[in-house]
Amino acid sequence: MFESAELGNTIDKETFKAEVPALRAGLLDAQFDLRENGGFPVVILISGVDGAGKSETINVLYEWMDPRYLSTLAFSAPSDEESSRPLMWRYWRALPPKGRTGIFAGSWYSDPISDAIGHRLKRGDLDQRMDQINRFEAMLVNEGALVLKFWFHLSKEGQKTRLRAMEKDPRTAWRVTRQSWSRLKTYDRLQKVAGHVLRMTNTPWAPWIVVEGTDDRYRSLTVGKIVLDALQKRLADTRDQNYPVAPPLQPRIDSLDVLTALDLTQKLAGKAYEAELAKWQRRLSELVRRPEFRKRSLVIMFEGSDAAGKGGSIRRLAAAIDPRQYQIVPIAAPTEEERAQPYLWRFWRHMPRTGRVAIFDRSWYGRVLVERVEGFCSEADWLRAYTEINDFEHELHEAGALVVKFWLQISADEQLKRFKEREKIAFKRFKITAEDWRNREKADAYHAAVCDMVDRTSTGLAPWTLVEANDKNFARVKVLKTVCERLEAALKK
């Protein structure tokens, strides 16, 4: 993939000076349009061999564009905080919002390439990682991002010449380190691994652009023109950027489904409830204090019918855990900041580090539930969300997180009874709103959405637990028991 980047491309000084003013004006105009009307973020990845001009190119972009709407994200070895969270956590946190451009100096490709060169990552594992990256980048593009990936290339002799020249120049000598010369010894291995990585991830939605890094003027002009052309084309494209990526949902031909099959008559009497509650709370308290849990994390997520008892179940869980060890994350309508990012961004930011617990009151499943039913997102958005959510939960599992998901189900009659009780009790009135009453009118649509959600996202790594919640005592104990059994099984592995 690198042959065309070893041809000796150059641009003379006169041509460079003649073309740069118009290019800079075009970039600033496009950047203004992006900020005012674009409604999408730009993600620029700068990768390649040492000495090929990665830092110089970033500096040029800052010189030619408005730096107030650019951000540079540099990634080296993960910090302690980053190491204690899922692999992609630090990249999700760095994504630019809509209307801005993020330049990644090093990216989600850096560690896999480095590990493969150092024989710390086998080819099969590398391919699996590249598949995950392809899906991540597809998600970014589906969310509206413009993703530009640059690989700056030098021949082995060209890299050696470049490093020597930089070392002699006082202005650039500091950039050449022992590591730079050490990595030159692994040049052939880098080309083999990088060639494979670029081939695996050269997708239609985020293709690689290989740029020869020998001549500074050629490299800068090439990158500037590519960025400008991509921005102008995207800004001028008024077509819907979304498209369905899942087969149509099949209508049910009978009344039996995962919700109607539940036995909502199950109950737990007072004394039995107190005994079971104490038993499983004590068990949970012991499990999260085990030494083995320090290498794991626990993500507990609640969805359910309105008034199904999510808050009560959460309080019984929290009562068994040291308050310093858990965080309860209530999910409401997204803020302006959250709407400017990919859908899953606001959930990634709350993922717990190892040894900690995060309890979500509502969750990332809002996209395939309330957003689907209420029309807050397009059909294409919620159809592709099933795959993106499964990928998200798979990444959490791979990072050592145990994901426990609950749907609390109550009957229509029980819900009506609880709504009326809430209206009568002063300290519970805040829980009942006009929206709750309105949602009852769309009960059939929500029912269908829940069944589809369970069918498409109840995986072996993160299965759904459906809780019969007409009796609050029964539901609370089932939740605690499920968490304990799942966590105990995970800690034995």
* Three-state secondary structure call for residue 249: coil
- Calculate the alpha carbon distances from 324 to 319, 328, 400, 432 in Å: 12, 11, 20, 31
Binning the chain into helix, strand and coil, the percentages to the nearest 5 are 55, 15, 30
Report yes or no: 326 and 358 within 8 Å, Cβ to Cβ.
yes
In 274-432, the DSSP E strands lie at 297-304, 326-330, 357-361, 401-409
Residue 307 region, left (φ>0) first, then alpha (ψ -120 to 50), else beta?
Answer: left
Report yes or no: 447 and 410 within 8 Å, Cβ to Cβ.
no
> What pLDDT, on a 0 to 100 scale, did the predictor assign at position 476?
98
Closest C-alpha among 310, 311, 312, 284 to residue 298: 284
Between 180-194, 263-277, 462-476, the lowest mean confidence (pLDDT) is in 180-194
Judge whether residue 266 has pLDDT over 90: yes
The C-alpha atoms of residue 345 and residue 212 are separated, in whole angstroms, by 34
Q: How many CB atoms lie within 10 A of CB 389?
A: 23
pLDDT tens track for 119-158 = 999 999 999 999 999 999 999 999 999 999 999 998 888 8
Report yes or no: 5 and 210 within 8 Å, Cβ to Cβ.
yes
pLDDT tens track for 390-437 = 999 999 999 999 999 999 999 999 999 998 888 776 656 566 666 766
The C-alpha atoms of residue 274 and residue 268 are separated, in whole angstroms, by 9
Give me the mean pLDDT over the 55-80 stretch: 93
Give me the mean pLDDT over the 49-65 stretch: 92
Look up the pTM and report it.
Answer: 0.83
Closest C-alpha among 432, 411, 463 to residue 301: 463
> What pLDDT, on a 0 to 100 scale, did the predictor assign at position 132?
94
149 bridge partner residues:
45, 208
Domains of the chain in start order, with CATH, are: 3-236 (3.40.50.300), 270-492 (3.40.50.300)
Q: How many CB atoms lie within 10 A of CB 447?
A: 18
The C-alpha atoms of residue 416 and residue 430 are separated, in whole angstroms, by 16
> What pLDDT, on a 0 to 100 scale, did the predictor assign at position 155?
86
Q: What are phi and psi of 90, to 5 degrees?
A: -70, -25
The per-residue DSSP string of 294-317 comes to GG-EEEEEEEESTTSSHHHHHHHH
Instruction: Please identify which residue in the block is written with the tokens 């670029």.
Output: 198
Q: What are phi and psi of 304, to 5 degrees?
A: 165, 170
- The gap between the terminal CA atoms of the chain, to the nearest Å, is 42
State the greatest distance between any 2 C-alpha atoms of the chain, in Å, as a whole number. 89
- CA–CA–CA angle 119, 111, 172 (5° rounding): 110
